[in-house]
Amino acid sequence: MFLGNQFSEIPAWLHDNGKKLDSMLAAQHVPHTILFSGSEGVGKSEMADMFSKALLCASNIKLPCENCKSCNLFEHQTHGDFLHVSCEDSKNNIGVEQIRNAISFSNKTSAFGRRKVILINPAEKLQRNASNAILKFLEEPPENTTVLLVSNRDGNLPATVHSRCLRLEFNSPDYQTAYRWLSEKLPRESEFSKAIALSLRQPFKALTLIKTKEFDKLVATIGSQDSPIGLNIGLLGSLAKQKHPDVLLLEYLCLQLEQFLKETSEASLKSSSSKDIFECQSKLRSLIAKLDQGIALNISLNFTNIVSKLIKVMEQH
Ligand SMILES: [Zn+2]
């Protein structure tokens, strides 16, 4: 049974989706396409990897067994029935050629004579013609191929793709759960609060932040600001004043703030600030899209205005 013996090792906030995936395997009724949706760093990629391995595992008792040839090959990233489609090194998107390759992969005979798995991550990076190609494929998927889509922003995927998927939504845990999980992983407790705040409660993102130099850079830039969302706005403000800010960092902050606005707008649908929130959201979305496509922006012009609006929204909540 998927996760059966390992369930206690799965972070608590992933249990619900773990159970759903588990029962699909137990019933041997796995949909052709599953969409893992949620913020970056919540644990979707880890869950999709583990599920891929379980789908391919040769054991019928405990999945993934970690002992069979299939599990070994998967661990060494050389499994012939598994294809991971991601952005190519030199590009920031997934092109139509990559999807054509995936389709021909699905038409080949399985190395183990069983199922094949195609994992597309991050699916929001599919170019338009790649989305069209995958849609045609999903309309008539081969019997023995499972497609897993993982997306931080599945709103970017066409509705027609959505309609072909079983969607699993991954939500961030509360602060205490994230803190407890981090303390099982790392000794640097003094940094947990800031890392959780900066990642907007995405524990895997917080873990990566602490493990990399990015965290020290972020904390050094933030300075004395102390509220979680204030940290991000403060950092965005200081980046907006730089001539050549780190674009990745900028995109990262925009995504965090977009998530904050999404939660705020759900909590205050009828409040007087809903117009400001809506305006901030649409501005951030269009900036994220431009950053995503690598369009050169006048950072100061684009961000100074949005920072002042964000401060206004934050002060009201
Ligand atoms: Zn196995």
Amino acid 225: pLDDT? 47
Distance CA 162, CA 169 (A): 13
Q: How far is the centre of ligand 1, averaged over its atoms, from the C-alpha of 70 (Å)?
A: 6
Ligand 1 midpoint to CA 22 (Å)? 15
Kindly report the average pLDDT of the chain as a whole number.
82
Distance 280 CA to ligand 1 centre (A): 48
Q: Which residue in 285, 242, 19, 6 sits closest to 155, CA to CA?
A: 285
Residues less than 5 Å from ion ligand 1, measured at CB: 57, 59, 64-65, 68, 71
- Signed CA dihedral, 301, 304, 308, 310: sign only: positive
Q: In a 10 Å sphere around its CB, with 0-12 CB exposed, 13-18 middle and 19+ buried, how is residue 237 labelled?
A: middle
Q: Are the beta carbons of 239 and 245 closer than 8 angstroms?
A: yes
CA of 82 to the centre of ligand 1 (A): 14
Instruction: Quote the ligand 1 centre to 279 CA distance (angstroms).
Output: 50
For ligand 1, the distance from its centroid to the CA atom of residue 164, given in whole angstroms, is 29
The domain defined by 7-170 folds into Rossmann fold (3.40.50)
Instruction: Give CATH 3.40.50.300 domain extents, the chain.
Output: 7-170
* Cα(167) to centroid(ligand 1), Å: 26
pLDDT at 290: 74
Task: Quote the pLDDT of residue 244.
Answer: 67
In this predicted structure, what is the pLDDT of residue 45? 93
Amino acid at 237: G
Which of 104, 102, 86, 96 lies closest to 45, judged by CA?
Answer: 86
List the one residue out of 300, 298, 289 whose CA is nearest residue 254. 289
Distance CA 75, CA 53 (A): 8
Query: Per the omega criterion (within 30 degrees of 0), is the bond before 228 cis?
Result: no
Determine the distance separating the centroid of ligand 1 and the alpha carbon of 21, expressed in angstroms.
17
Q: What's the CA-to-centroid distance between 271 and ligand 1, angstroms?
A: 53
Below-50 pLDDT ranges, the chain: 1-2, 4, 223-225
For residue 220, the CA-to-ligand 1 centroid distance in Å is 45
- Quote the pTM value: 0.74
Ligand 1 midpoint to CA 3 (Å): 12
What pLDDT is attached to residue 267?
A: 67
Residue 268 φ then ψ, to 5°: -135, 55
CA–centroid distance, residue 309 to ligand 1 (Å): 52
And the tokens for 295? 């369009």
Structure tokens at 6: 């390992």
Q: Which of 49, 56, 43, 45 is nearest to 11 (CA)?
A: 43
Model confidence pLDDT, tens digit, residues 229-266: 666 777 777 776 666 666 666 776 777 777 777 777 77
- Cα 69 to ligand 1 centre (Å): 7
Using only C-alpha atoms, what is the Rg of the chain? 21
3-state secondary structure of 152: coil
What is the per-residue pLDDT for 278? 77
CA 178 to ligand 1 center in whole angstroms: 30
Find the 152 Cα to ligand 1 centroid distance in Å.
Answer: 29
- For residue 247, the model assigns a pLDDT of 66
How far, in Å, is the centroid of ligand 1 from the Cα of 197? 38
